[in-house]
Chains A and B, each alone.
Chain A
Amino acid sequence: MTHPAPRSTVTDPPWVRRLLISIALVFLGLFLVVPLATVFVEALRKGVSAYGAAIREPVALAAIRLTVIASFSALALNVIFGIAAAWAIAKFEFVGKQLLITLIDLPFSVSPVVSGLIYVLLFGLQGWCGPWLFAHNIKIIFAVPGIILATTFVTFPFVARELIPLMHSQGTEEEQAAVSLGANGWQTFWRVTLPNIKWGLLYGIILCNARAMGEFGAVSVVSGHVRGRTNTIPLHVEILYNEYNFVAAFAVASLLALLTLVTLVAKAIVEWKVRQESQSHEN
């Protein structure tokens, strides 16, 4: 986004500018900066060694491992889905396209708690498939597969939603040229489409990953909270907090806060890259 220079005939008096900038900064400072700073201040309240000890604890490490496994699984599934959905929706005209786009966005409007509940009702012991799964000794709810499913659900639209408008705006001419020159489908995708969408794809992956690693409500419903086995980082934070072990809770939470900062920086860089790319396309 390039911003036009402020126009002299329609600018506000200096006192209005100063007042509005102050209001905006105080509001954002109170609601964004103070909470973020609090996480790190509370985490380091008893020094660096207490901080390190909280993070190196075996159950904390197990939670980190599970979070990485669950979010990478969800990410892989949603990237494959996002590319397939964007290819079908952006490159072809067919009946029911708008409905399909709406359905893909559906998980964003479902409460995280309900997102977890739907899998409990399907795979839990009281659920539709529960007795069959129990008879075959397959555990989904209160186990890792349930956590992966719930994480996949809440991050479902991220990649598709980034790619659909991007691929749509790029049109199909380059792909048509590749096909008419004799490239097959995969060659067209790998050599023409993928290089064009790489930054948009990365953007979707960054957002998807941040949400997947931090998901709390949905995972909390399906996890069963078994320490060291089905606890993700956010659930581990909750347990520590409820045990009044505040320093450890904030120490583990600070890992997620760091991830947030990395996400915001990466997001800003990728947005800048996308802008550059679309400008060079236009020229």
Chain B
Amino acid sequence: MKSFRFKQHSVLPGFGLALGFTVFYLSLIVLIPLSATILKTTALTWTSFWHTVTSPRAMASYRLSFGASAIGAAINAVFGLVVAWVLVRYRFPGRRIVDALVDLPFALPTAVAGIALTAIFAGNGWIGQWLEPLGIKIAFTRLGVVVALTFIGLPFVVRTVQPVLQDVSAELEEAAASLGASRWQTFTKVILPSVGPALLTGFAMAFARAIGEYGSVVFISGNMPLKTEITPLLIITKLEQYDYAGATAIAVALLAVSFSLLLVINLLQWWSHQRNGGV
């Protein structure tokens, strides 16, 4: 019988030190603070926890946060696929610059994005001044939240779809074409199914990122309770009113959603790898 071994033998040194430090630092910075937060909710009774997380103001904030995040992620799924397709398949001047620019929302601080988007979409802004006469208000409305969440989720779909699109084998497309499929049929029957899992992964990542987003939204949304108040802002509001129990309860609800999404994303990635023969 083979005895259980925690680690396979290796001649390289430093395993104990490296793993020990990793686990120590991970516990100190991440695991203990997160667990303490979840433990803190046990100070609340179940009914008061439930009462806080399902209060009308909290429910309104979930509706806005989830709804706007889903719309933003859907916009990114459509346009992100187009951007990825154009970057992988076509050659045009400035392609490399455009490719590098896609990462801008990852690198631009959220507060800077927030004030810039507000300036653009306010009634007197570059774009807002053309929309206002048409009766479309973006800044300080729910539409503004959608705009900000679309901005911060933009790179996810492009960056997950791009490598898969590159790997779609030319033979498959050529086979479809030689069997008489039109370009559109090849796209819907051959290309789309192979990028499908990556597209869904990108959508889920953009959605998950948008749910927790704060910096870019607070400036452009009006921050009105029940109307334009996102869930992370509600947590901050409760903290500022010294309602630590309430803030913690909603934070734990948000954490539960984030961790479930993380699980979904991992499953999607696994599926995507299976689909493409695994790398």
Contact = CB atoms under 8 A, between A and B. Distances in A.
A46 to B, nearest CB: 14
B107 A120 contact: no
Interface in A93-144: 93-95, 100, 102-107, 109-114, 117-122, 124, 126-128
B59 interface: no
B34 interface: yes
B22 interface: yes
A91 B10 contact: yes
Interface residues of B, number: 95
B160 interface: no
B214 A121 contact: no
Contacts of B113: 35
B116 A109 contact: no
Interface stretch (B12-20, B47-55, B133-141, B195-203): B12-20
Contacts, number: 301
A283 to B, nearest CB: 21
Interface in A134-173: 149, 152-153, 156, 172
Secondary structure at chain A's binding surface: helix, strand, loop or mixed?
Answer: helix
Contacts of B233: 113
A87 interface: yes
B271 interface: no
B29 interface: yes
Contacts of A80: 21
Interface of B: 6-8, 10-15, 17-19, 21-23, 25-26, 29-34, 36-37, 40, 79, 82-83, 85-92, 96, 98, 100-113, 115-117, 119-120, 126-127, 150-151, 154, 166, 170, 173-174, 177-178, 183, 186, 208, 211-215, 219, 232-233, 235-236, 239, 242, 244, 247-248, 251, 254-255, 258-259, 261-262, 266
Contacts of A156: 29-30
B92 to A, nearest CB: 6
Interface stretch (A53-61, A196-204, A215-223, A273-281): A215-223
20 contacts: A6-B90, A7-B174, A10-B173, A27-B79, A35-B120, A36-B108, A38-B119, A81-B26, A84-B17, A84-B25, A85-B22, A93-B8, A103-B31, A109-B258, A111-B235, A121-B244, A124-B244, A153-B30, A241-B219, A250-B115
Chain A, interface size category, equals: 35 or more
Given A117-B37, A210-B106, 8 more contacts: A9-B174, A32-B102, A91-B12, A102-B266, A111-B211, A112-B212, A113-B251, A126-B242
